[in-house]
Chain A
Amino acid sequence: MTVQADAPRRRRRGGGRDAEHLMVPPATFTSYYGRPIVKAAPWQSDIPAYLFLGGLAAGSSLLAAGADLMNLPELRRVARLGAFFGAVAGSAALIHDLGRPARFLNMMRTAKPTSPMSVGTWILTTFGPLASMAAAAEVAAVLPFRIPIAGRLLDAGARPAGLLAAALAPGLASYTGVLLADTATPAWHAAHRELPLIFVGSAAAAGGGLGMVGARLSETRPARRMAVGGAVLALTMELQMERSMGLSADTLHSGKAERLFKASRALSIAGAIGTVALGGRNRIAAGMSGAALLAGSVCTRFAIFEAGQASARDPRYTVIPQRERVARS
C-alpha cells in the first residue's frame, strides 16, 4: 500500500543536527494497509491529568518551602495544601490507570534507572508522605483544639518534611518529560530535548497560579514571579520543541491536540500578562490570572499527550522520519 503523503504544513528552520530535516521529505510512503506500526499507549485521561497534578504538587512544594523560610504563612498554607492535593490526586489517577490496580505495590519490588516510571514512582512515594505531613500541620493549626502528642510532632516535623519534599520537587516535575519521551511514540520521542523543560515550566506556572488564587496579595510576589517565569519557560521551549519534532509537529496542529495546544498558549499568555499587569494590585485579577495559568498548564499536558497518541496511530510519523534517517546515513 503506497499512500500519498500530505506535504507537511509547517516546516520551520531547525538548527544543529536537525538542519538535515530540511531535505525534501519523500513524496510517498508505504505502509501495511495504513495500519499503525507502533502502538499508542493504552493510557486514558488519568495520565495527562497526573502530569498536571504531579507538576502542581512539585511547583507548590517549592513555593511552600520558600514561604515557610520567608515567613509568608498564608502562601505557605495554600502551597502546602496544593502539594498535598496534587500528590494524592495524582497518585490516585496513576493507580486508577493500571490494568490491575490491586497490584500497584508491585512497582515497589524493584528500582530501575532504565525505567522513568520506576524512578518516578520512587520520587512520588517519597514525596507524598512528606507533602502530606506538611499539609497536615496546616490543617492541625486551624483546628479549634490541640491534638495531643501528634500535634507536637507535626509542629516539629512540618518544616523538615516540607523542605525535603521541595528537594524532591525538581525530580517530580521533570521526570514526567522523560517518561513520555522514553517511548517509540514519534511525537514524544522527537521532543525529548524539550519535554522536561516544558514540564518544569508548566509545573512552576501551575504552582504559582495556585498561590495567586489562594493567598493574599501581600504574600504572593514569589508566586507571581514563579508563575510568569514558568509560563515563559514553557512557551519558549514549546517553540523550540516544534522545530525539533520535525514531521511529528504536525500532530500538534490538527485535531484534538491542536485545540488543546491553542488553548494552552492563549491561557498561559493571558495569565502571564494578567499577572504582570494586575497580579500585584487587584485580588480578583490576580485570582483570574492564576486560574488561567492553572488551566493553561492542564491544556499543555493534555495537548502533548494527545499529539503523541495521534502520532502513534498514523504510520507516516514512524515511517517517514525513519526513512529520512536511513537516507542520511
Chain B
Amino acid sequence: MPGWSTAADPAADTGWSEAPARKGFFTDGSVCIGCKACEVACKEWNGIPEDGLQMLGMSYDNTGGLGASTWRHVAFIEQPRRPVGAGSLTPLPMVAATHGQNMPASSPETGIRWLMSSDVCKHCTHAACLDVCPTGALMRTEFGTVVVQDDVCNGCGYCIPACPFGVIDRREGPAGARNVGIAQKCTLCYDRLRDGMTPACAQACPTQSIQYGDLDELRARANHRVEELHAAGVTDARLYGADPADGIGGAGAFFLLLDEPEVYGLPPDPVVTTRDLPAMWRTAAVAGATLLAGAAAAFVRARS
C-alpha cells in the first residue's frame, strides 16, 4: 500500500518530527452508565448543531448513531437475563479498584442486562477516510489522530462510504449552520489536545468509562481490565480495536465490550478498504490495456 506501514506511530509515519506520544481513547463499556454526558460535552465544546430530536424506539437511545453532527453516541441494549455462567449475572467489579467509586454497570435484580457503550471515531492507524480524501482535507495530526480541515474539504463525500465503521458524514443542515456541506467527525478535541487538555467527552465522563491518554498506556490498562473482569467471571469482556494486527492496524480509540461488536452496531471484522487498492489498480491497468487493445483491433481493415 502506498504510505502503508507496520509502524505503530502513524504521526511519525506521516512525517511529523518529534511528534508527541500517540493519543487515544479507551472506552470501557463495562462501567458506562448511559448518562450521555459525553454526547452533551462533545456538542457543547465543538459547537455542533442539533441534528434531530426524535423518539427512535431504541431503548434509551434517541441519538441513533454517529454522524456529521453526532461525534459521540451512547448505545443502549437491553438483553434478557442470561443463564448463570454466561457472565452476565456476576455483578461487575467496581471501578473502585482504581477510582474509589461504587458504580455497577449492570444489576442482577432487573431481569435484564444493560449494555451501554459510547461510540466515537476510531482514529484508525490505517484510516480509509484519510487515504481516499482527494483534497487532503483529512489529515493525520501530530497526536496520531485523524482530523478534517474544515476550510479545505469540498464535500465530495468519498470518505463517507470509505469508512468501515460508518463514522464520518457530510453535514446537510440545518441551513445556516457552520460547515454545512462538508465532512465532519470527531477530532479527538484537537484544539484541547494542543493546549494539553483532556478531550471534552473524557473530561465529562463521570465513571471513567471514557479514558484518554497515551495509546500504549491505555492498551496496557485495558488488557489489565479485561483480565480483572475475566477473573471475576465476566467472560464476555473483550477488547475491540486494540489489536495492531487487525484490519485497520489498530484503532486510536478502542473499546471494552461485553458482547459481540455487531450488538453495539460495530462491524465484527473491519478492514481498511485501501488494503486492496494495489490489487484494484492492477485490475484497472488490465482493464485499460484491454480497452486500448480492443479499440486498436476494431480498426483493423476499418473500411467497409
Contact = CB atoms under 8 A, between A and B. Distances in A.
A197 B302 contact: no
Interface in A23-78: 29-33, 35-43, 58-59, 62-63, 66-67, 69-70, 72
B163 interface: yes
Interface string A194-215: 0111011001100010000000
User: In this complex, which of B1, B164, B297 has the most chain A Cβ atoms within 10 angstroms of its Cβ?
Assistant: B164
Interface in A195-250: 195-197, 199-200, 203-204, 208, 217-223, 225-226, 229-230, 233
B170 A42 contact: yes
A115 B164 contact: no
21 contacts: A29-B262, A30-B262, A32-B58, A37-B165, A42-B170, A70-B303, A99-B155, A99-B156, A99-B157, A99-B171, A100-B155, A100-B182, A103-B135, A103-B155, A106-B152, A117-B156, A182-B277, A196-B287, A219-B303, A229-B294, A322-B268
A62 B299 CA distance: 10
B104 interface: no
A196 B154 contact: no
Interface stretch (A6-14, A142-150, A173-181): A173-181
Interface string B47-68: 0000000001110010011000
Contacts, number: 271
Interface of A: 1, 29-33, 35-43, 58-59, 62-63, 66-67, 69-70, 72, 97-101, 103-104, 106-107, 109-110, 112-118, 121, 166, 169-171, 173-175, 177-178, 181-185, 188-189, 192-193, 195-197, 199-200, 203-204, 208, 217-223, 225-226, 229-230, 233, 280, 308, 312, 315, 318-319, 322-323, 325-326
Contacts of A192: 276, 279-280, 283
Contact of B154 (A1, A103, A169, A175): A103
Closest 5 CB pairs of A and B: A99-B155, A170-B288, A32-B265, A99-B181, A103-B154
B108 interface: no
Contact of A115 (B134, B154, B267, B268): B134
B98 interface: no
B8 interface: no
Interface in B270-304: 270, 273-274, 276-277, 279-281, 283-292, 294-299, 301-304
B7 interface: no
A169 B290 CA distance: 12
Contact-residue bracket for chain B: 35 or more
Contact of A112 (B134, B172, B270, B287): B134
Contacts of A41: 157-158, 160-161
Interface in B53-88: 56-58, 61, 64-65, 75, 77
Contact of B267 (A43, A217, A322): A322
Nearest to B61: A33
Interface stretch (B18-26, B125-133, B214-222, B224-232): B125-133
Interface of B: 1-3, 56-58, 61, 64-65, 75, 77, 128, 131-137, 152-158, 160-166, 168-172, 180-183, 260, 262-270, 273-274, 276-277, 279-281, 283-292, 294-299, 301-304
A201 B170 CA distance: 33
B161 A185 contact: yes
B294 A110 contact: no
Given A113-B2, A221-B302, A104 B154 contact: yes
Given A40-B161, A221-B303, A66 B295 contact: yes
B259 to A, nearest CB: 8
B56 to A, nearest CB: 8
B283 A222 contact: no
A48 B57 CA distance: 35
Contacts of A117: 132, 134, 156, 158
B134 A33 contact: no
Given A115-B134, A189-B273, A37 B262 contact: yes
B268 A323 contact: yes
Nearest to A181: B280
A166 to B, nearest CB: 8
Contacts of B264: 32
Nearest to A166: B295
B284 A184 contact: no
Contacts of B75: 32
A35 B158 CA distance: 21
A205 B234 CA distance: 60
